[in-house]
Amino acid sequence: MITNALSAGWTLGTHQVFATRRKWLSVIVVLLPALVALPPRLFSGSPPAFIYGQLVMTLFTAILVPFVAIFWGGAVISDEVEGKTLVYLWTRPTGRMAVLASKLVAVFFWQVLLLLAALLGVFLVLYAGRSSLTVQSELQALAWDLLGLGGGAAAYGALGFFLAALVKKPLGIGLVYIFAWDNIVNYLPGYLKMTSIRHFIMVLKSQGPSIEPKNQFTSFLAESTTTDAQAITAISVVIVVCLGFAWALLHRKEYLGDDPARSQ
């Protein structure tokens, strides 16, 4: 029974990522970064490492990773609620949480693969024709960035999962966090940065040419003393806490309104 539940969850999670109405989001995640990297490579004259660092800090860290992770993480539950199918999981104790857990794992797995494809696309655009030694050294940066972005995606996905367990429309709250709080606190002094998942991804990014403003005041606002170990620990805590609260909420909620038999 538990094996069937895990298999069903994996199939549903995969379908969620590559379903007809969402497959274009997957295509955008893979192709958009390479398309954005092409004009700077052709016309700016900036070093590839600089362009790559800018894309990781802006397009990946601030937009693609948080939005897609919260969207898909929340959809693990909200798809079932909107489709009025979540209640049927509640009638199967052995599969009640296993299906949702395996769906979440499937979504995370495919998102990491899409991130890898997107980073490789950017890498090919920027480093095509470069010396083999340069390419080999920069591949290490790509691997480290994949680790940081993948961890951040897991944290955002867990946050989306928690919000979907808490409210029926989690994406709106998630977008407020991403584009308001998550961005603003990174330019405020003090410990408010520790409430931002984006901050920890930025700490874990590969070391490269600085793209921070040279102005002393803005540099002061952007500086951080967070170490890699602290960032990894914080991301792990976010994942565990969000998933723990989500499981607790799901065990308590009955979603009676989603059961047609109960509403008659």
Q: What tens digit of pLDDT does each residue of 174-200 get? A: 999 998 888 888 877 777 888 899 989
Amino acid at 15: H
State both tokens at 87.
């209640």
Of all residues in the chain, the percent with pLDDT exceeding 70 is: 80
Average pLDDT of span 137-166: 89
pLDDT band with cut points at 50, 70 and 90 for residue 157: very high
User: Tell me, what amino acid is at 171?
Assistant: L
Given a cut of 70, is residue 87 above it in pLDDT? no
**pLDDT > 60? residue 95:** no
| Beta-carbon contacts of residue 246 (< 8 Å; ≥ 6 apart) | 77, 158, 161, 162, 164, 165, 166
Q: Name the pTM for this structure.
A: 0.85
Structure tokens at 173: 């709250």
Confidence of residue 168 (pLDDT cuts 50, 70, 90): confident
User: For residue 20, what pLDDT band results from cuts at 50, 70 and 90?
Assistant: low
Instruction: Indicate the average pLDDT of the chain.
Output: 81
Q: Are 73 and 104 a contacting pair, CB within 8 Å?
A: yes
Closest CA to 161 of 111, 94, 92: 111
Q: Residue 102: is its pLDDT beyond 80? A: yes
User: What average pLDDT does the segment 226-234 reach?
Assistant: 89
What number is the average pLDDT over the span 27-39?
92
Provide mean pLDDT across the span 225-233.
Answer: 88
Q: Could you give the CA distance from residue 202 to residue 60 in angstroms, rounded to a whole number?
A: 10
Residue 245: what residue type?
A: F
The DSSP symbol for 120 reads: H
- pLDDT above 60: residue 225: yes
**For residue 211, how many other CB atoms are within 10 A of its CB?**
12
Amino acid (one-letter) located at 22 = R
Is residue 143 pLDDT above 50, yes or no? yes
| Helices (H) then strands (E): counts for the chain | 13, 0
* Through-space distance between the first and last CA atoms of the chain, rounded to whole angstroms: 30
| CA 129, 58, 139, 122 torsion-angle sign | negative
Q: How far apart are CA 217 and CA 206, in angstroms?
A: 24
Give the three-class secondary structure for 82.
helix
Report how far residue 152's alpha carbon sits from residue 234's, in angstroms, rounded to the nearest whole number.
10
What is the phi-psi region of residue 255: left when phi exceeds 0, alpha when psi lies from -120 to 50, beta otherwise? left
pLDDT of residue 153 exceeding 90: yes
Identify the CA nearest to 149 among candidates 75, 46, 55: 55
- The percent of residues in the chain predicted with pLDDT above 90, rounded, is 31
Q: How far is CA 122 from the centre of its chain?
A: 18
Token pair 């480093």 is at which residue?
127
